[in-house]
């Protein structure tokens, strides 16, 4: 049975999407701690950026390695072990007072999500039939919803019970890890009876698609810098503007929740009209919306922030699918390169953004971050313009 004719397994997609929601709620864990760490330890923006980057880098740069390994062997256990590992590491962060130990825990926690993402995203594409972009968008949207819920859940927890309450956040990790243990697709389903690619075959596919992959990963790296930078700097900026922690968490939630909805719409639109037009258009629109948020007030400002979040994240899953279409026999590697390595490059560059905030003010850092989606959209002009999935389905009839 070919992938296009394989039935869609909605129950499996639902469980994996729930796991992704929790996984990405944990991935947005450290930024929610930052205002409380600043209050408790006088942490500056540079150290805050290093802490978030430690998690982002360890969770990202190793993903292509996991991706190559998974394309060859398909180890389903990585999704539940990775989830549990990250939950344990992050639940310990509020119990330590040493900054270097905190950075170490953040780095170790990142390994859990590095194991989860390539395998889980491949599981989604394997069980999604010919609706890969929109169902992968739904999967990623659940992750973005987890990001969005993180400030709503964690900020009140830390505010009311202190940072030591992090230990209780291990409980949902245990529950979801058990669900994945029992219900994630088997290795046989993942491999589909095919022979895994050799290293030479992987290298050849990368060489053939190098220009296309360079364009895609460049777009993702720039977008990831904007995304990770905003998650790191916005809470500090709102704190500097004397907004309450609750108000700040609500604004971040609005941006990320709108991004989750934008991600689903982006997958649907890209299936109908193509990956490249959606990626360019949405990213170019994000920058004026962000600046509109900064220079307006009241309801209009909040609406523009929501639109900016939707535009920024509407191409999130689209670029992953674009990479998987560029190297179709190495889907986990493609996911690792896009969701991992390219995102890690963006995460690494957050450190100088934090330094700029210390030297020239957080408003300067915010202004730079708001420009980045426009740069990513212009970079997307170099992506390959493949036929839309809808056009391919019509042609196949």
| DSSP state letters, 365-380 | HHHHHHHHHHHHHHHG
Residue environment code for 122-134, b if the CB has 16+ CB neighbours within 10 A, otherwise e:
bbbbbbbbbbbbb
Residue 206's pLDDT is 72
Burial class, 300, CB count within 10 angstroms (exposed 0-12 / middle 13-18 / buried 19+): exposed
- Residue tagged 């957080």 (tokens): 362
Give the mean model confidence (pLDDT) for residues 118-146: 78
Give the mean model confidence (pLDDT) for residues 21-37: 87
CA distance 366 to 54: 21
pLDDT of residue 313 exceeding 80, the answer is yes
Higher pLDDT, 86 or 63: 86
Q: Which two tokens stand for residue 199?
A: 């290293």
CA distance 123 to 153: 28
The candidate with the shortest Cα–Cα distance to 60, out of 374, 390, 345, 372, is: 345
Residue 67's pLDDT is 62
Within 241-297, residue ranges assigned H as helices are 245-273, 275-294
Higher pLDDT, 395 or 100: 100
CA distance 88 to 155: 19
Give the mean model confidence (pLDDT) for residues 195-221: 76
For the chain, what percent of residues have pLDDT higher than 90? 29
State phi, psi for 62 to the nearest 5 degrees.
-85, -10
Give the mean model confidence (pLDDT) for residues 220-235: 88
pLDDT of residue 276 exceeding 70, the answer is yes
What is the DSSP-derived secondary structure letter of residue 6?
Answer: S
Residue 3's pLDDT is 47
pLDDT of residue 268 exceeding 90, the answer is no
Residue 397's pLDDT is 47
pLDDT of residue 184 exceeding 60, the answer is yes
pLDDT digits (tens, 9 = 90+) for 349-394: 888 888 898 899 999 999 999 999 999 999 999 988 866 555 554 4
| Confidence bin at 196 (pLDDT 50/70/90) | low
Contact 136, 271 (CB under 8 A): no
Contact 121, 136 (CB under 8 A): yes
């Amino acid at each position: 049975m070919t992938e296009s004719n394989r039935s869609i397994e909605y129950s499996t997609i639902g469980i994996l999407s729930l796991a992704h929601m929790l996984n990405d709620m944990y991935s947005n864990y450290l930024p929610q701690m930052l205002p409380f760490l600043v209050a408790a330890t006088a942490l500056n923006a540079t150290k805050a950026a290093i802490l978030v980057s430690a998690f982002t880098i360890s969770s990202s740069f190793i993903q292509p390695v996991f991706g190559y390994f998974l394309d060859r062997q398909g180890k389903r256990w990585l999704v539940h072990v990775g989830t549990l590992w990250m939950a344990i590491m992050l639940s310990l962060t509020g119990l330590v007072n040493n900054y270097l130990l905190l950075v170490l825990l953040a780095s170790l926690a990142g390994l859990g999500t590095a194991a989860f993402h390539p395998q889980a995203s491949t599981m989604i594409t394997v069980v999604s039939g010919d609706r890969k972009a929109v169902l992968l968008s739904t999967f990623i949207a659940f992750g973005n919803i987890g990001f969005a819920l993180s400030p709503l859940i964690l900020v009140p927890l830390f505010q009311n019970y202190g940072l030591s309450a992090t230990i209780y956040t291990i409980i949902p990790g245990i529950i979801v890890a058990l669900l994945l243990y029992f219900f994630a697709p088997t290795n046989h389903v993942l491999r589909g009876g095919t022979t895994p690619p050799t290293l030479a075959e992987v290298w050849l596919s990368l060489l053939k698609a190098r220009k296309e992959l360079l364009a895609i990963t460049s777009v993702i790296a720039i977008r990831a810098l904007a995304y990770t930078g905003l998650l790191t700097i916005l809470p500090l900026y709102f704190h500097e503007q004397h907004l309450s922690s609750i108000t700040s968490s609500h604004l971040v939630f609005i941006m990320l929740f709108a991004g989750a909805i934008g991600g689903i719409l982006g997958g649907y639109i890209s299936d109908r009209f193509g990956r490249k037009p959606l990626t360019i258009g949405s990213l170019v629109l994000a920058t004026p919306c962000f600046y509109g948020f900064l220079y307006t007030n009241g309801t209009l400002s909040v609406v523009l922030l929501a639109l900016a979040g939707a535009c920024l994240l509407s191409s999130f899953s689209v670029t992953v699918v674009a990479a998987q279409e560029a190297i179709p026999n190495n889907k986990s590697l493609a996911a690792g390169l896009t969701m991992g390595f390219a995102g890690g490059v963006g995460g690494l560059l957050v450190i100088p953004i934090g330094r700029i905030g210390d030297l020239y003010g957080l408003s300067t850092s915010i202004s730079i971050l708001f420009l980045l989606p426009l740069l990513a959209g212009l970079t997307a002009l170099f992506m390959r313009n493949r036929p839309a999935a809808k056009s391919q389905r019509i042609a196949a009839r």
